[in-house]
Amino acid sequence: MTDSVDHAPDRSGPHATFFDGSSSRRRLVDIAFSDRLRIADGDGPLASWDYADIRRADAPPGVLRLRCLSAPALARLEIVDAADIARCIELCPDLDAAEARRGTLRVVVLGLAASASMLGIVLFGLPLIADRITPLVPQEVDRRIGDAAERQVRTVFGDKTCNAREGAAALSALVGKVRGAADLAPGQDPIVVSSPIANAFALPGGKVVIVSGLIAKAENADEIAGVLGHEFGHLKHRDSMRNLVHAGGLSFLAGMMFGDVSGSGSLVFASRTLITASYSREVEQDADTFAIDTMHRLGRPPQALGNLLMRISKSQGGDDVSWLSSHPLTQDRLERMGSDDVASGGPPLLSSEQWAALKAICGPARKI
Amino acid sequence: MTSDTAPSDLDRSQWSGHTSETFVDPRGRPAPPEPATFSGDRGGFFGLISRGAALEFVTLGFYRFWLATDMRRHLWSHTAVGGDAAEYVGTGRELLIGFLFALAILAPVYLLYFLAGIEAERAKAFGSAPLFLFFYAFGQFAIFRARRYRLTRTVWRGVRFWMTGSGLSYAVRAVLWGIPMALTLGLVLPWREAALERYKMRNSYYGDLQGRFEGRGWDFFRQGWWLYPLAILSLAVVPLAPFVYGLFKATEWRWWLSGLRFGDVRMESALGRGELISLYWKAIGWMLLLALALGFYLWAVAAAVSSASGVPVNKLFAAGLSSGSMVFVALLAAGYLVFLLAASVVMRVYLLRDLWERVIGSVEVHNLVAADNVTGLGAAASALGEGLADGLDVAGF
């Protein structure tokens, strides 16, 4: 306080301001640089600090604020006289030791190590973790998640399921054949929901949902069989659960790494999207392989799936809710299906009547 | 002022010029209010955060604990009341440890949340939506505990600020206030803020001086009610939004600061209503410039990659993840990262440092003599709350 200075008697030694760390009282003190830094006021000594224990504390420019390791933690001595400041810097060997020990380099090296290990975990650890954990999760959990997802699907699509009797029977026959060839236990028939969107997905727990736009776009039963084979591949590999474990772990890791760095929400989202895309690409490849193998066993052409994908991609262009958004049509996918053009020696999967019934599963009047 | 507990040999009141009982100066007049001052050097702060942003980039965000600490140390140590600058005594390491503890707590919480969500969805489609309430409450808990951490790392005149109270109790209050907030479409905001601040402040101390909050919801409402229709209007007329937000924040800051008390020490803010608007516009202007630069960069990268690989620009994404497009994506990501970090520098210069400077500059502290001989009390709280706030993305700065 400025007015307090008026009351200060003349002093011989250098002046400083002292806070003893146990009260907020501001004391104008004398300091003496002897064997230790001695702090005293008119009534006698207040403290003496060992030079080796003295550290710099944050202060505004022009002020040297000191603390002492062997004094109360919040005791502070503030020096403003330039000569005294220089003297202190000269006498205290470890004045900036705390700052040096923190070392930005150390933090950066630590940070780099942390990011490298994080990258390793994300690229190699997470897929492994997903592979290992998924078999440990009881099928019951898959079914429960599947039930929950089915409710959402029904809510989104307004409960417009298609089950014209003959169409359902044809679908059932087709599914039976694919299941047989894929060596899958008999299960529930796919749910067909009515919507112009061309899409199909496997729900955890064993259900497959076909959105009727896909049936409308298909030109023969082989194409639907290819889609079924692909989705059954996901079911067989429990890919929903694997994706869930993978995505959950990834969100957690990404959030952890970036924390509250401003704008990181979109960054987390972007990196997650990229990594999920590359992971799901592997998963999709495996499902394609499964579909191709299944078609081979049926003696039907595997490239039917590719043809269907091609047609959807041509007709829908930028439609981002189609099958293509989650199953991007890449050149290598097409090539894999196309090059595998083995003689289609097997019998047709559905008769032409059955095929017509399947096409009309959402009712003949419906024009898509 | 509480009883003088200082040892008698420390009782040198001739230096303070005041006797602790009367809060008047020797000439018998009440002591004039003391302005709060901020003396931070803008260039220094800019250097600090630019360097910090670069290190954040290199360490994928890991450096943020040390950057946050450095920013606070800068702001605190250049902020002075009664001629004495404050000091921030927290460390980056504490924040890191708090964050790791928070992760250990959040991991099972997230898992439980996920499982509860599935069960709720099974019962009813989108039935898990109310579960977000849980995270809202958890976030409020974290906000309270993070404030406690920051307060206990704030030291002035060799005495620390500290805080009691329960984060849980605070979270319950915050959630309950959510009901009238929803019913009145946010009109009770002033009363909510006043009530929550009263809870926080009556649990805050400077040494043995207990804090309290005397701002009244009604006063805040009277000062700012007309911003409510303007806020709605700005949903339609977007360029209005920075004005409305700047007016709102200035009103809120002034009301909040003017309600703060520690014992007999009283704060008063004279922040002008329009004083923050220009900061928001400057930040927006820089963001637009940065976005423009990002757009130009993306265009240049796309053109370069497409001419190098022979793939037309509009097919770069559709080509799948071939090696050419991997390079493309990596360049995009790097550009975006640099954009984010530059944006964070802009935000921190204008909306943290400059805002701090204007807000602190508006403050006068009355009756500061009541803080001349306060007994130090309270211990440093753990950084767990700050870690939770970081993990839940509700942290301030």
Task: Write the single-letter amino acid at B148.
Answer: R
Nearest C-alpha in B relative to A328: B320
Tally Cβ neighbours within 10 Å of residue B250.
25
Cβ-defined contact of A1 to B16 (cutoff 8 Å): yes
pLDDT band at A116 (very low <50, low <70, confident <90, very high): confident
Q: What is the mean pLDDT of residues A94-103?
A: 77
Please report residues of B whose CB lies closer than 8 A to that of A1: 16-17, 82-83
Between A60-64, B20-24, B94-98, B315-319, the lowest mean confidence (pLDDT) is in: B20-24
Buried b (16+ CB within 10 A) or exposed e, A65-98: bbbbeebeebbbbbbeeeebeebbeeebeebeee
Mean pLDDT, chain A, whole residue set: 79
A 70-109 near B (Cβ less than 8 A): 74-76, 102, 104, 107-108
Q: What's the pLDDT at B14?
A: 38
Q: What's the pLDDT at B11?
A: 38
Gap between the Cα atoms of A328 and A320, Å rounded: 10
B187 close to B220: Cβ distance less than 8 angstroms = no
Please report residues of B whose CB lies closer than 8 A to that of A104: 55, 66
Gap between the Cα atoms of B43 and B229, Å rounded: 39
Q: What's the pLDDT at A351?
A: 85
Residue A273 or residue A353, greater confidence:
A353
Q: Determine the distance from the C-alpha atom of residue B157 to the mean position of all C-alpha atoms in its chain, rounded to a whole number.
A: 24
Decide if pLDDT at B10 tops 50.
no
**Is the CA virtual torsion B291, B295, B300, B302 positive or negative?**
positive
Q: Partners of B269 in the beta sheet?
A: B363
pTM: 0.75
Residue B314 or residue A242, greater confidence:
A242
- Which of A111, A145, A266 is the closest to B62 by Cβ? A111
Gap between the Cα atoms of A198 and A205, Å rounded: 22
Decide if pLDDT at B149 tops 70.
yes
Q: Partners of A32 in the beta sheet?
A: A38
Domain spans in chain A, listed from the N-terminal domain onward: 2-101, 112-359
3-class SS of residue B61: coil
CB pairs under 8 A between A and B: 217
Q: What's the pLDDT at A1?
A: 42
Between A213-227, A336-350, B160-174, the lowest mean confidence (pLDDT) is in: A336-350
Contacts for A286 with CB less than 8 Å, ≥ 6 apart: A233, A237, A239
The length of chain B, given as a count of residues: 397
Please report residues of B whose CB lies closer than 8 A to that of A154: 125
Q: What's the pLDDT at B238?
A: 85
Cβ-defined contact of A111 to B337 (cutoff 8 Å): no
Residue A341 or residue B12, greater confidence:
A341
Residue B62 or residue A22, greater confidence:
A22
Residue B10 or residue B224, greater confidence:
B224
pLDDT by residue (tens digit) across B264-301? 999 999 999 999 999 999 999 999 999 999 999 988 98
> Which range in A115-124, B10-19, B356-365 is most confidently predicted, on average pLDDT?
B356-365
pLDDT by residue (tens digit) across A269-284? 666 666 776 777 778 8
Task: Tell me A255's DSSP state.
Answer: H
The tokens for A61 are 């420019």
pLDDT band at A293 (very low <50, low <70, confident <90, very high): confident
**Alpha helices by DSSP H, chain A:** 2-5, 82-91, 97-102, 104-120, 126-133, 139-156, 165-182, 212-217, 221-236, 239-258, 264-298, 303-316, 323-326, 331-339, 352-359
Decide if pLDDT at B221 tops 70.
yes
CA atoms within 13 Å, Cβ hemisphere of A202: 26
- Is B28 exposed, middle or buried (CB count within 10 Å of its CB: 0-12, 13-18, 19+)? exposed
pLDDT by residue (tens digit) across A134-192? 888 887 888 888 888 888 778 777 767 887 888 888 888 888 888 888 887 777 788 88
A75 close to A20: Cβ distance less than 8 angstroms = yes
Gap between the Cα atoms of B101 and B149, Å rounded: 14
The tokens for B305 are 């990659």
Between A26-30, B87-91, B391-395, the lowest mean confidence (pLDDT) is in: B391-395
Q: Determine the distance from the C-alpha atom of residue A366 to the mean position of all C-alpha atoms in its chain, rounded to a whole number.
A: 41
Q: Partners of B261 in the beta sheet?
A: B212, B266
Please report residues of A whose CB lies closer than 8 A to that of B160: 74
Of all residues in chain A, the percent with pLDDT exceeding 70 is 80
The strand ranges marked E within chain B are: 34-38, 79-81, 84-85, 87-88, 154-156, 159-163, 204-206, 209-213, 260-262, 265-269, 363-366
Q: What's the pLDDT at B3?
A: 39
3-class SS of residue B72: helix
Three-state SS annotation for A69-119: CCCCCCCEEEECCHHHHHHHHHHCCCCCHHHHHHCHHHHHHHHHHHHHHHH
Interface membership of B30 toward A (CB under 8 Å): no
Closest Cα to residue B81, out of B291, B322, B347, B267? B267
pLDDT by residue (tens digit) across B80-123? 998 899 999 998 888 888 888 887 887 777 777 777 777 776 67
Q: Does domain A2-101 have CATH number 2.30.29.30?
A: yes
Tell which phi-psi region holds residue A311, choosing left (phi > 0), alpha (psi between -120 and 50) or beta.
Answer: alpha
Q: Which secondary structure element, helix H or strand E, spans residue B78, and what is its range? A: none
- Which of A7, A21, A59 is the closest to B77 by Cβ? A59
Q: What's the pLDDT at A327?
A: 61
Closest Cα to residue A205, out of A162, A155, A126, A151? A151
Buried b (16+ CB within 10 A) or exposed e, A331-347: eebbebbeeeeeebebe
Residue A315 or residue B334, greater confidence:
B334
Q: Partners of A40 in the beta sheet?
A: A30, A45
Instruction: Tell me the nearest-neighbour CA distance from B348 into chain A, angstroms.
Output: 10
Q: Phi, psi (5° rounding) for residue A191?
A: -95, 130
Please report residues of B whose CB lies closer than 8 A to that of A266: 340
3-class SS of residue A35: coil
DSSP states of B248-269: HHHHHHHHHHHTEEETTEEEEE
- Which of A46, A152, A328 is the closest to B125 by Cβ? A152
Decide if pLDDT at A366 tops 50.
no
A 179-218 near B (Cβ less than 8 A): none
Q: What is the mean pLDDT of residues A79-100?
A: 88
Residue B57 or residue B176, greater confidence:
B176
A 255-294 near B (Cβ less than 8 A): 255-267, 270-271, 274, 277-278, 281
Of all residues in chain B, the percent with pLDDT exceeding 90 is 49
Decide if pLDDT at A367 tops 90.
no
Rounded to 5°, angle at Cα A258 from A257 and A262:
170
pLDDT band at A117 (very low <50, low <70, confident <90, very high): confident
The tokens for A266 are 């979109």
Cβ-defined contact of B347 to A281 (cutoff 8 Å): no
Task: Write the single-letter amino acid at B243.
Answer: F
- Which of A4, A265, A274 is the closest to B15 by Cβ? A4
Cβ-defined contact of A262 to B340 (cutoff 8 Å): yes
